[in-house]
Amino acid sequence: MSTLPVIAAVDGSDDSLRALEWAVTEAGRRGTTLRVVHVRQYAAPTQPDVLVAGPPEPAEDPVLLQVRAVLADREDPPPVEYLHMEGAPAAVIPELGEGAQLLVLGSRGRGGFASLLLGSNGMAAARDATCPVVIVPRPGREVHGETHLEPGPRVVVGVSADAPDGNTLAFAFDAADRRGARVDVVSAFPWPEYLWAAAGGFTPSVADQEAAQKETVDRIKDIVAPHREAHPDVRVAVIAAPGDAAGHIVGASKGAELVVVGRHRRRVLHPAPMLGSVTHAVLLHAPSPVAVVPPEEPAES
Q: State CA 12 to chain mean position distance.
A: 21
Instruction: Tell me the pLDDT tens digit for each residue of 238-250.
Output: 999 888 899 999 9
**From-to residues of CATH 3.40.50.620 in the chain:** 6-136
Cite the beta strand spans of the chain per DSSP E: 6-9, 34-40, 80-86, 102-106, 133-136, 154-158, 182-189, 236-242, 258-262, 290-293
pLDDT category at 73 given cuts 50, 70, 90 is confident
Q: pLDDT tens digits for 17-57?
A: 999 999 999 999 999 999 999 998 765 444 444 334 445 56
Query: Could you tell me which CATH class the domain 154-293 is placed in?
Result: alpha beta
Segment 155-166 shows an average pLDDT of 93
| Residues forming CATH 3.40.50.12370 domain(s) in the chain | 154-293
Q: Are 144 and 248 in contact (CB under 8 A)?
A: no
- Which strands make up the sheet holding 133-136, listed edge to edge? 80-86, 34-40, 6-9, 102-106, 133-136, 290-293, 258-262, 154-158, 182-189, 236-242
CB 165 within 8 A of CB 295: yes
| DSSP annotation string for 77-89 | PPPEEEEEEES-H
What is the CA angle 179-72-92, rounded to 5?
A: 70
- pLDDT of residue 256 exceeding 50: yes
Q: By C-alpha distance, which of 75, 70, 77 is closest to 28?
A: 77
pTM of the model: 0.86
Least confident of 3-17, 18-32, 193-207: 193-207
Architecture in CATH for domain 6-136: 3-Layer(aba) Sandwich (3.40)
Q: Which residue has the higher pLDDT, 275 or 225?
A: 225
What pLDDT shows up at residue 60?
Answer: 80
